Amino acid sequence: MNSKNDIFLHQLQQFCKGDNHAISSLYKAWVPELYLVAFRYVLSQQVAEDLVADCFEKLFQMPVDKRHQKFIEEQINLKVLLLVMVKNKALDTIKTEKNRNRIREGIKKFLPSAVRNHAEQHLTEENFKTLLDCLPEKEKRIVLLSMEGYTIEEISKQEHLTDKTISNLLAMARKKVKELWKTFMEY
């Protein structure tokens, strides 16, 4: 095994037999390029590093029989696969962040738009949190998760409820908060 290609094939075969350490040299060689691809999309060093690590983790979690099928039998190029995985993960991250920002902006509509100074803004936020305490515990939890930017699908997994149930609970909670705001907070 003199050539780089022979070394790569040997490492790939070992990886396909279940040895995750076999491609450690490839990891070291490919990480800078994969990182740059991720960074180009997400524009964040930490997020880009996390994306690349997540892609390798997913690769390492691939069952041995699937590794053999994909990389030996079907001869899928491992580096190209990783580049595509990083790009798709970066695009998913961007999409998720846009959705979270959209949700945050929607929730901000609960707050009055004419906040004149910091003290008034602080009072408004405290009042909003007080109104959330009036909700049943489950609705309160769901609203808080939504305010943190979690999607309905993410909340439904966490709460062990269907997406439709989460959507309905969120709509009811928003309606209750809006009514409470009108009743107690608008002067």
Residue 88 has pLDDT above 80, yes or no: yes
How far is residue 163's CA from residue 152's CA, in Å, rounded to a whole number? Answer: 6
pLDDT of residue 124: 64
- CATH code, 109-184: 3.40.50.2300
Global pTM reads 0.56
Nearest alpha carbon to residue 80 among 37, 16, 17:
37
| Domain 4-97 of CATH type 3.30.70 | no
Domain boundaries, the chain: 4-97, 109-184
Tell me the torsion sign for CA atoms 7, 12, 13, 18: positive
What are 116-133's pLDDT values in tens digits? Answer: 456 556 556 677 777 778
| Structure token pair of residue 129 | 């949190």
pLDDT of residue 110: 65
pLDDT of residue 184: 64
Alpha carbon separation from 177 to 57, 134, 135, 169 (Å, rounded): 42, 8, 8, 12
Q: Which residues contact 14 (CB under 8 A, 6 or more apart)?
A: 22, 23
